[in-house]
C-alpha cells in the first residue's frame, strides 16, 4: 500500500534502513511482517527502464528479495514481450506475488515514473536535467531518497577475440565510431574494414557512450552503425565478425575481447573489477534505480533496502557487475608517482572505494553517503579503526594549482570528519591536487579526478 510523507522524513527512513543493513546472506527474513499485497492483486513491484539493469540484474535482485522474505517457488520468466520479464513467487497463504520488469531503455523508466506505470526507473546513467524538470512535480529526483546507486559498471569497448589491437585512447575510440578510422590497419591491426555496432537511442548505455566518448571528442556516431536494443545481442554479433567493434556493459562482454582504454594523461586501463569499483577506469559508470521521493510503497522501500544490503550487493557481483562491497587491493609503485604516494603503494593497500564530490565543493555525493557506512563497517570488521587508514585527496587541473591542492586536502578532511563521527581515527590525510589524473580534463573527466582515495596499513 502506498503512503505519502515529506521528502525529508522519507529520505531519513529509507537511508537509515539501508545503512542498518536489513538483510544478510543466510539470515532469516529481516522484516517482522511481509509488506501487504496490493488491493487489486496487481504486481508488487513495477520496474521500467535500462536494458543494462533490467535484462538480468533487476530480475535477480527481485528474486533475491522474494527469497529473503521466505516466499517459495520463486521464478523468473518472460512476460510475453521482448525484453520484459515477470518474477513470481508464492506466499504461505498460497497467493502468487508478481513483479514486472520492462527493459526498453533508460528513458522509458523516467516516462514510467511520470505516468505512474512504474515504481522504479532503472537507469544506466544519471537523470538528465530535462527529465529532472519534467518530473519536478514528484519532488527532487536527485535527492538521496530518490537516487539509488546500486552497482558500478564498466562500459567495455569490444572487438572480435582475434583482433590484434589491445588498447585504444578515448580519442581513437571516438574516431572509430564516427567512421573516420575505417580500417584496423590504421591503428596497427590487420587489414580489416571496421564494422560499427552500437546500442539504440533509448539506451542509457548509448547515452553514457555518447557523453564519455563521442561528445567529449565533438563527434557523432556514424550513420552506418548497426543498432541494437540488447547488450547481449550486440556482443554476440561482435564475437562472430572479425572486423567488428562495439560497446556494451561489463556483464555483456561474453565471447568478445575488451580493450584497455586511456583517457587524457591516464595509462590504458582494462575494465578490471578493482579499477571499475574505484571508478578509475575511464569508461566506468554508475547504475541506478530512481524512485518517487515522496511516495513509495512498502514493497519499493523493502526492495531498495535489500539492494543496498550485503545480500543484495552479492547478487550484483554474481550478475557480472561490480558490487559496492569494499576490498583491499595491492598496487605497484611507479616512478611517476609522488614520493608520498609511492610509499603508500609500497607499504599499504588501497581500498576499492573512492569518495567523489561536486565541482568546487567538498560536499559528498549520494554514493559517498552510503559508502561512508560501508567503509566504517569494513574498518571495524578488519580491526583498523585506530590510525590505520590514510586518506588522499585529488582535484582537477583547472584554475589555481594552489587552490586545487587546498581543495583536494579539504575533501580528504571532509571524509575524515565523517569517519570520526563513526568512531574511526585516520592515520593521516594528504592532498595531491591535480596529480595522478585518472581521466581527461573534460567535464566528465574532472568529476572522476575529484576524488578521495582510502588506503590502509
- For 333, the domain range is 326-456
Phi, psi (5° rounding) for residue 228? -140, 145
Phi, psi (5° rounding) for residue 206? -65, -40
Residues 171 and 295 both lie in one domain: no
Give the CB-side neighbour count of residue 283, counting CA atoms within 13 A.
36
Residues 295 and 268 both lie in one domain: no
- What pTM does this model have? 0.79
Residues 159 and 57 both lie in one domain: no
Each of the 457 residues of the chain gets a pLDDT tens digit; together they read 333 333 333 333 333 333 333 333 333 334 446 888 887 789 999 999 999 899 999 999 999 999 999 999 999 999 999 999 999 999 999 999 999 999 999 999 999 999 999 999 999 999 999 999 999 999 999 999 999 999 998 899 999 999 999 999 999 999 999 999 999 999 999 999 999 999 998 888 898 899 889 988 999 999 999 999 999 999 999 999 999 999 998 889 999 999 999 998 788 999 988 899 999 998 998 999 999 999 999 999 999 999 999 999 999 999 888 999 999 999 888 888 999 999 999 999 999 999 987 666 677 888 998 999 999 999 999 999 999 999 999 988 777 888 889 999 999 999 999 999 999 999 999 999 989 888 776 656 677 888 999 999 9
Tell me which residue of 69, 15, 45, 18 sits closest to 310, measured CA to CA: 18
CATH assignment at residue 417 = 3.30.1330.60
Residues 122 and 173 both lie in one domain: no
Residues 6 and 145 both lie in one domain: yes
pLDDT for 38 equals 81
Any domain includes 206:
yes
Q: Which residues contact 144 (CB under 8 A, 6 or more apart)?
A: 11, 14, 15, 366, 369
pLDDT for 202 equals 83
Any domain includes 283:
no
CATH assignment at residue 107 = 3.40.190.10
Residues 292 and 145 both lie in one domain: yes
Residues 138 and 183 both lie in one domain: no
Residues 298 and 331 both lie in one domain: no
Residues 145 and 293 both lie in one domain: yes
Residue ranges with strand state E in 21-145: 45-49, 72-78, 84-90, 96-102, 120-123
d(Cα 342, Cα 412) in Å, to the nearest integer?
18
From 212, 239, 274, give the residue that closes a domain. 274
Any domain includes 280:
no
How many domains does the chain contain in total?
Answer: 3
Residues 231 and 195 both lie in one domain: yes
Any domain includes 412:
yes
Coil, strand or helix: which one is 328?
strand
Residues 206 and 310 both lie in one domain: no
Coil, strand or helix: which one is 322?
strand
Residues 331 and 437 both lie in one domain: yes
Contact of 108 with 48, CB cutoff 8 Å? yes
pLDDT for 20 equals 36
Give the CB-side neighbour count of residue 54, counting CA atoms within 13 A.
36
From 239, 274, 309, give the residue that closes a domain. 274
Output the nine-digit C-alpha cell for 127: 537523470
- Furthest-apart CA atoms within the chain: distance in Å: 67
Any domain includes 281:
no
Q: Which residues contact 34 (CB under 8 A, 6 or more apart)?
A: 69, 70, 91
Contact of 351 with 374, CB cutoff 8 Å? no
Backbone region of residue 98 per phi and psi (left: phi > 0; alpha: psi in -120 to 50; beta: other values) = beta
Any domain includes 212:
yes
Any domain includes 81:
yes
pLDDT for 448 equals 81
Phi, psi (5° rounding) for residue 152? -115, 140
Any domain includes 199:
yes
Amino acid at each position: 500500500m502506498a503512503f505519502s510523507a515529506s521528502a525529508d522524513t522519507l529520505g531519513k527512513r529509507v537511508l537509515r534502513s539501508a545503512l542498518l543493513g536489513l538483510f544478510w546472506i543466510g539470515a532469516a527474513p529481516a522484516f517482522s511482517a511481509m509488506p501487504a499485497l496490493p488491493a487489486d492483486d496487481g504486481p508488487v513491484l513495477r520496474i521500467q527502464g535500462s536494458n543494462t539493469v533490467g535484462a538480468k540484474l533487476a530480475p535477480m535482485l527481485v528474486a533475491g528479495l522474494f527469497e529473503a522474505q521466505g516466499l517459495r517457488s520463486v521464478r523468473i520468466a518472460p512476460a510475453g514481450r521482448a525484453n520484459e520479464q515477470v518474477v513470481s513467487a508464492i506466499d504461505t497463504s498460497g497467493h502468487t506475488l508478481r513483479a514486472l520488469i520492462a527493459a526498453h531503455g533508460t528513458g522509458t523508466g523516467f516516462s514510467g515514473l511520470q505516468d505512474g506505470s512504474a515504481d522504479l526507473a532503472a537507469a544506466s546513467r544519471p537523470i538528465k536535467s530535462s527529465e529532472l524538470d519534467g518530473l519536478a512535480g514528484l519532488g527532487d529526483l536527485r535527492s538521496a531518497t530518490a537516487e539509488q546507486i546500486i552497482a558500478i559498471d564498466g562500459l567495455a569497448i569490444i572487438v572480435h577475440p582475434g583482433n590484434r589491437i589491445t588498447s585504444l585512447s578515448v580519442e581513437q575510440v571516438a574516431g572509430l565510431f564516427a567512421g573516420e578510422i575505417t580500417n584496423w590497419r590504421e591503428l596497427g591491426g590487420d587489414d580489416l574494414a571496421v564494422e560499427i555496432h552500437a546500442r539504440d537511442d533509448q539506451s542509457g548505455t548509448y547515452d553514457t557512450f555518447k557523453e564519455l566518448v563521442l561528445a567529449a571528442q565533438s563527434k557523432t556516431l556514424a550513420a552506418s552503425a548497426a543498432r541494437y536494443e540488447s547488450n547481449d545481442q550486440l556482443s554476440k554479433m561482435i564475437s562472430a565478425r572479425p572486423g567488428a567493434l562495439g560497446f556494451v556493459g561489463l556483464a555483456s562482454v561474453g565471447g568478445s575481447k575488451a580493450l584497455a582504454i586511456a583517457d587524457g594523461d591516464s595509462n590504458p586501463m582494462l575494465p578490471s573489477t578493482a579499477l571499475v569499483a574505484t571508478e578509475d577506469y575511464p569508461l566506468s559508470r554508475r547504475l541506478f534505480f530512481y524512485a518517487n521521493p515522496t511516495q513509495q510503497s512498502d514493497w519499493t522501500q523493502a526492495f531498495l533496502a535489500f539492494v543496498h544490503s550485503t545480500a543484495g550487493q552479492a547478487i550484483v557481483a554474481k550478475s557480472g557487475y561490480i558490487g559496492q562491497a569494499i576490498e583491499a587491493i595491492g598496487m605497484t609503485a611507479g616512478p611517476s608517482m609522488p614520493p608520498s604516494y609511492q610509499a603508500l603503494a609500497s607499504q599499504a593497500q588501497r581500498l576499492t572505494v573512492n569518495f567523489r564530490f561536486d565541482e568546487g565543493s567538498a560536499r559528498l555525493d549520494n554514493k559517498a553517503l552510503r559508502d561512508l557506512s560501508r567503509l566504517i563497517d569494513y574498518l571495524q570488521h578488519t580491526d583498523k579503526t585506530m590510525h590505520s587508514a590514510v586518506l588522499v585527496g585529488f582535484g582537477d587541473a583547472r584554475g589555481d594549482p594552489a587552490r586545487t591542492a587546498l581543495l583536494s586536502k579539504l575533501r580528504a578532511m571532509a571524509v575524515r570528519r565523517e569517519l570520526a563521527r563513526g568512531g574511526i581515527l585516520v592515520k593521516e590525510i594528504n592532498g595531491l591536487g591535480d596529480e595522478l589524473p585518472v581521466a581527461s580534463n573534460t567535464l566528465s573527466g574532472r568529476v572522476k579526478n575529484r576524488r578521495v582515495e582510502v588506503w590502509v596499513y
